[in-house]
Structure 1
């Protein structure tokens, strides 16, 4: 099987195709998406830090100067929302916004959240265990990070059911060559989510609270503040990035553990292995398989010249299985110590929420290990159709043992 991100069989297991890609070269042209595929860890890691590449090119070129066609006008709400978030900006705008957001989203904030995250995880798992199991993703993996980020942002509990559908529709545009139907859903979700947050931000301006939106409003650097659009885009980014990865890492991780019972048994016996187990889950089956960058100045990868105006597709899933960096890379090993996976990115766009994601993953995996000492897979899971953000539709398990 070759690289085919629209094939369900490829999405279910892309790792054999990745190995063949790594053998075939360091930069492989892929005409269907007009991209260069970069499958090796050393190259992916270096290019994430290379300032000759960017998440956008509009800080230096027009669409026409860059040889690209502007997006259709009807897609404008999505691109306005997406284009003002940290993930899709370059310096100096990225630097300014990340600095301001970092004032509100501090390590201390995450540290103070940890007890709440553990309590929420325990409550979700207790309900799951009491019912004898069910879909681990919809019952545990999804509610935890959505609840945490909603609590952080100060979104009322009655409105939280809106968040996951909006996020899923917006994230549909991150796939390769999204359909017009996917684009229309993303545009609609962008408008609805933006309108919702605009009202919430106005309320927080009048009556600040102890929440992240209020902190973003207050964040300033001399006379510099976030614009309303930057705040809206930041909130959406924090929600989307802050839970899509955690949901899929939880689902992919438990599917991996259930297929490696000896590793799961070892983790149950020695809970001190949980931190390295989580890093290995992130490496072995990362939820973010591909990260795109624009070539702003000519570069060369392994003797192949890639001109300005090109787009590279950094294959995180392949980089994380590169035998040149990871001994026995296809072996799932929860004791793996030397584990420089790229699942959270690198360079200036390194995931700001990585510390929170690790807290959430430790809480949910820990709660399930503590409260459900036996889990049995009821049926083999199916994968969602997306490849860039890759995860299971559901993971149905039965609780076969439980703590008193």
Structure 2
């Protein structure tokens, strides 16, 4: 029987690691006929492909759709496709270089660092409002990144309630299979979010503020500026990417800690010592141990041979970060949680030219969120230790739907 990744199987989404371990040892590179992709499971192969310019996030910078033999775009998701093909994550060549340079000048590490006091205040307010039993996902993990991104961009408070539903709708189309209803909801979310950003950008041109939309409106590099559609699509990308990784990373990380209470107790002890480093180190390990965005893809840009596997221009490869992050060839005792693991060269934020621009913000949010939670709830525990965790979506954007806890 041909090897296969059952990405839509709830049991696999629940716990993919035993299946990934078996495949990683038996068939670390294989063509999955159901996915129509070559699946890549070992750390060295994944990191090598991420750094290799013969692989890219798109092909359309080199070839037209006619040359590639691609079908016409689906009009039911024309706005989603336009957004997805216009931001820097799915761009290559000169366009990617220009977009990353411009966005990087506006979305700077210094801007991220200034957010720490506000993040801490949001966390304090959120934790003070929680009762003795709460859903860690909806009541704690979700509100912070949405609020931070909204404040960072400059989205008025009255408009923020729409951001989470928009993001949740849009990312459904990154799964291998989706329904017509999900497609329609994603399309509508892109249209509505784009309209809001265009309105805010027009306001910032007339009346600049100290926010990221103003910075993106004004940013310039060698006479180059962001077009209106590039600015809009960048803002949508920042919400989706930054918020999904933070929510899924924190909730999965806390679940891992509560399943192994000795690790939670170590963090409780560290929280009393006032040193933030143990939390920064712990976050890196939690992101490795249970990867919040387990799979990314690349196109093959030219015919090549990769470790004995023939790949043709136009083929797609599925890079299974969740498998690479558990590869024992790269990580000692890879299936064990080690909050002191250092160095920790996990793949979670990618590598190479598409390394996640929002990684500093995600790391800051996660470390501060974890430290605040440990301080406020030192005896936190699962509401029902015997219950299987509930996952809310598929494998590509793998996140807990609920996580009831008690403090």
TM-score normalised by structure 1 residue count = 0.96
Aligned 8 A contact 2:4 2:34 in 1:
no
Deviation by residue 1:143-201 (Cα, 9 ceiling, x = unmatched): 10100000011001111110000001110011113333222221111111111211111
2:363 pairs with one of 358, 366, 370? 358
Counterpart CA distance in 2 for 1:158 and 1:180 is 30
Counterpart CA distance in 1 for 2:114 and 2:144 is 16
Aligned 8 A contact 2:290 2:322 in 1:
yes
Counterpart CA distance in 1 for 2:23 and 2:182 is 29
Counterpart CA distance in 2 for 1:251 and 1:108 is 27
> What is the CA distance between 1:63 and its match in structure 2?
2.0
2:400 pairs with one of 377, 392, 400? 392
1:58 pairs with one of 40, 57, 60? 60
Aligned 8 A contact 1:26 1:301 in 2:
no
How many residues get paired? 397
1:26 pairs with one of 19, 25, 28? 28
Deviation by residue 1:325-377 (Cα, 9 ceiling, x = unmatched): 01111111111113110000111110101001111011110101111111121
Aligned 8 A contact 1:3 1:14 in 2:
no
Indicate the residue corresponding to 2:375 in structure 1.
Answer: 370
Counterpart CA distance in 2 for 1:385 and 1:110 is 29
> What is the CA distance between 1:2 and its match in structure 2?
5.8
Counterpart CA distance in 2 for 1:296 and 1:66 is 11
Aligned 8 A contact 1:55 1:90 in 2:
yes
Indicate the residue corresponding to 2:140 in structure 1.
Answer: 140
Which is further off, 243-252 or 20-29?
Answer: 20-29
Q: Is structure 2 residue 353 aligned with structure 1 residue 348?
A: yes
> What is the CA distance between 1:263 and its match in structure 2?
1.1
Which is further off, 342-351 or 176-185?
Answer: 176-185
> What is the CA distance between 1:265 and its match in structure 2?
1.0
Indicate the residue corresponding to 1:286 in structure 2.
Answer: 291
> What is the CA distance between 1:54 and its match in structure 2?
0.8
Give the 4+ runs in structure 1 shifted more than 4 A.
Answer: none
Q: Is structure 2 residue 76 aligned with structure 1 residue 74?
A: yes
Indicate the residue corresponding to 2:165 in structure 1.
Answer: 165
Deviation by residue 1:257-298 (Cα, 9 ceiling, x = unmatched): 000111111121124421111001000001111001111112
3-state SS in 2 of match to 1:314:
strand
RMSD: 1.3
Aligned 8 A contact 1:153 1:235 in 2:
yes
3-state SS in 1 of match to 2:5:
coil
Aligned 8 A contact 2:76 2:183 in 1:
no
Aligned 8 A contact 2:13 2:394 in 1:
yes
3-state SS in 2 of match to 1:291:
strand
Deviation by residue 1:58-114 (Cα, 9 ceiling, x = unmatched): 000112322432331222100111111111101200110110111111111011111
> What is the CA distance between 1:51 and its match in structure 2?
0.8
Residue segments in structure 1 that go unaligned for 5+ positions in a row = 400-404
**How do residues 293-308 of structure 1 correspond to structure 2 at under 5 angstroms?**
293-308=298-313
Counterpart CA distance in 1 for 2:400 and 2:55 is 32
**How do residues 130-209 of structure 1 correspond to structure 2 at under 5 angstroms?**
131-209=131-209
Deviation by residue 1:295-317 (Cα, 9 ceiling, x = unmatched): 11122222111111100000000
Seen in structure 2, the aligned counterparts of structure 1 residues 6 and 350 have a Cα distance that, compared at 3 Å, is: same
1:119 pairs with one of 112, 117, 121? 121
Indicate the residue corresponding to 1:220 in structure 2.
Answer: 220
1:322 pairs with one of 314, 320, 327? 327
Aligned 8 A contact 1:6 1:385 in 2:
no
1:335 pairs with one of 333, 337, 340? 340
Which is further off, 22-31 or 42-51?
Answer: 22-31
Counterpart CA distance in 1 for 2:278 and 2:189 is 40
Aligned 8 A contact 2:54 2:301 in 1:
yes
